[in-house]
């Protein structure tokens, strides 16, 4: 049976594809405060701004390409069972070839209803633009399929089930500041081998059992290939 690798990724893995991270810009997301664009309150008070913000992010994602770090996790599938648990709302893991991706915070290429009780029905967005006139099957306005701050994270249980029997955990490109996602690293067993990849790894809250690669995601690929016998 193949050994299982769970990858917990964050905005940093897509930085070298040209998509800005969140913490590296002083807690602003593309010059917006998260309260203005990434909360249910923001949607209720200014849906035009929120829709425009995510339309711009979607356009940027569509114009970006997966980088060698995304592609490396696809290559790993030749010898391992690989499950990607990503906080990213971009689809660069999928476009890098990864078969099994869990999006904790949603996927910007999809929309969902802003009405009640339809949490798990997602509609693919054709192109980059979602309009406030676009409606779901039940007639409610479509909103981006993104988990906003203060909302439940429906994929957490699925992620936990993969972490508890992981042989390896690779944490890459996340500041481990956003909960509950950051708490996932505590679900692995004592025998799980853990690696963290982040240029600022020394500043992150992880214990000494992690192998630390203090380089960018792309710069770490050759080291990761050695660790997993791909070279």
Cβ density class 104-139: b for 16+ within 10 Å, e for less: bbbbbbbbbbbeeeeeeebeebeebebeeeeebeee
Q: Does 7 bind ligand NAD (CB under 6 A)?
A: no
Residues 83-102, interacting with ligand NAD (CB under 6 A): 87-90
Task: Tell me how far CA of residue 143 lies from CA of 13, 52, 53, 123, in angstroms.
Answer: 25, 11, 12, 10
- Contact of 67 with 44, CB cutoff 8 Å: no
Of the two residues 82 and 217, which places its CB atom closer to ligand NAD in the complex? 217
Choose, by CB under 6 A, the member of 163, 178, 185, 188 that binds ligand NAD. 178
Residues serving a catalytic function are 105
Residue 12 CB, shortest distance to ligand NAD, in Å, is: 2
Q: Does 10 bind ligand NAD (CB under 6 A)?
A: yes
What CA–CA distance (Å, rounded) separates 101 from 119?
Answer: 19
Q: How many residues bind ligand NAD, per CB under 6 A?
A: 29
> Could you tell me which stretch among 6-14, 72-80, 94-102, 157-165 binds ligand NAD (CB under 6 A)?
6-14
**Residues of the shown chain interacting with ligand NAD in the complex, contacts defined by CB under 6 A:** 10-16, 19, 21-24, 29, 87-90, 105, 173-175, 177-178, 197-200, 216-217
């Amino acid at each position: 049976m193949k050994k299982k690798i769970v990858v917990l990724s964050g905005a940093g893995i897509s930085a070298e594809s040209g998509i800005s991270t969140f913490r590296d810009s002083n807690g602003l997301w593309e010059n917006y405060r998260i309260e203005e664009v990434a909360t249910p309150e923001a949607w209720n008070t200014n849906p035009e701004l929120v829709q425009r913000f995510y339309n711009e992010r979607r356009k940027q994602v569509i114009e970006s390409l997966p980088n060698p770090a995304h592609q490396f996790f696809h290559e790993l599938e030749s010898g391992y069972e690989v499950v990607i648990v990503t906080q990213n709302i971009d689809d660069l893991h999928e476009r890098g070839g990864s078969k099994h991706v869990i999006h904790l915070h949603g996927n910007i290429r999809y929309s969902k209803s802003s009405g009640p009780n339809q949490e798990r029905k997602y509609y693919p967005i054709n192109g980059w633009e979602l309009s406030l006139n676009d409606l779901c099957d039940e007639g409610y306005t479509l909103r981006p399929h993104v988990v906003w701050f203060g909302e439940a994270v429906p994929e957490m249980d699925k992620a936990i089930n993969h972490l508890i029997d992981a042989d390896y955990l690779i944490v890459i490109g996340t500041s481990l500041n956003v909960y509950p996602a950051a708490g996932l690293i505590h679900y692995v067993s004592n025998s799980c081998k853990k690696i963290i990849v982040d240029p600022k790894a020394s500043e992150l809250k992880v214990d000494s059992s992690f192998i630390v690669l203090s380089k960018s995601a792309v710069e770490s690929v050759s080291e990761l290939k050695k660790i997993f016998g791909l070279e």
